[in-house]
């Protein structure tokens, strides 16, 4: 199984809503990532979890809250988002250290109204 | 500052033709360089990973080259197909840590 599965594929939410994006992988990878991608731009790193511990937080606003319940799951909790947060949110996983392959999920397309 | 520059930003070619995409980087210390293909609205898919000692690596109709001295890489697509229409992203990783530097991508359109 070489897949990273993200749900939901599409999400529309208001600025007062609370929602979550979910990511799952069963490749035994111990590093998982959240990226944000705007149209026609490369992905921007948001968070990195290594061995289920947050190792990198790229100065992301607190309205985005990551969670890594176990080695296979990664969540991104969303609260009080702004319209400019609308983007494609990509989850990825790899063996720690990035010497090997980085596998991306299909992404969750988020629209904030 | 670690940077990855890709050229051209966009490219239109006819089906069946070849094309070459360029990637220049200033990332240090270098660990590896990856080329990803990203269809619109989808997640990136890896095409190749190249380490310092590798000069050329092929994956079907895709051939990547790496010149670690000049810090340049290219991705050559042979006999293009309509399904090659996508963004191609060059990503360079530093030795140690979980840091990747993404290029801005080349948007390729293959027309019939």
Which range among A16-25, A74-83, B89-98 shows the weakest confidence by mean pLDDT? B89-98
> Of the candidates B43, B46, B98, which has its C-beta nearest A56's C-beta?
B98
Distance from CA of A17 to the nearest CA of B (A): 24
> Of the candidates B89, B100, B103, which has its C-beta nearest A98's C-beta?
B100
Identify any residues that bridge with B46 across adjacent strands, giving them in sequence order.
B36
Cα B53 from Cα A57, distance rounded (Å): 32
- Listing DSSP states for A24-51 in one string gives EE-S---EEEEEEE-TTS--EEEEEEET
DSSP SS3 for B30: strand
User: B45: phi > 0 → left, psi -120 to 50 → alpha, else beta; which?
Assistant: beta
Distance from CA of A39 to the nearest CA of B (A): 9
Using the predicted structure, report yes or no on whether residue A2 has a pLDDT greater than 70.
no
What tens digit of pLDDT does each residue of B7-28 get?
999 999 999 999 999 999 998 8
Q: Does B109 touch chain A (CB under 8 A)?
A: no
Using the predicted structure, report yes or no on whether residue B5 has a pLDDT greater than 90.
yes
Cβ distance A88 to B44 less than 8 Å, yes or no, reads no
């Amino acid at each position: 199984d070489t897949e990273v599965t993200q749900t939901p594929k599409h999400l529309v939410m208001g600025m007062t809503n609370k929602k979550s994006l979910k990511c799952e992988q069963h490749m035994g990878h111990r590093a998982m990532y959240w990226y944000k991608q705007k149209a026609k731009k490369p992905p921007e790193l948001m968070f990195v979890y290594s061995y289920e511990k947050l190792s990198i937080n790229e100065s992301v606003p607190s309205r985005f809250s990551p969670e890594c319940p176990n080695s296979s799951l990664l969540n991104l909790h969303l609260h009080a988002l702004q319209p400019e947060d609308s983007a494609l949110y990509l989850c990825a996983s790899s063996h720690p250290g990035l010497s090997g392959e980085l596998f991306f999920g299909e992404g969750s397309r988020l629209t904030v109204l | 500052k670690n940077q990855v520059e890709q050229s051209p930003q966009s490219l239109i070619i006819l089906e069946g033709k070849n094309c070459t995409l360029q990637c220049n980087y200033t990332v240090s210390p270098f660990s590896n360089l990856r080329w990803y293909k990203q269809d619109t609205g989808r997640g990136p898919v890896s095409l190749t990973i190249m380490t310092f000692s590798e000069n050329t690596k092929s994956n079907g109709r895709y051939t990547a080259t790496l010149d670690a001295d000049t810090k340049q890489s290219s991705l050559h697509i042979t006999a293009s197909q309509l399904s090659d229409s996508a963004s191609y992203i060059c990503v360079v990783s530093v030795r140690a840590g979980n840091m990747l530097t993404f290029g801005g991508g080349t948007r390729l359109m293959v027309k019939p």
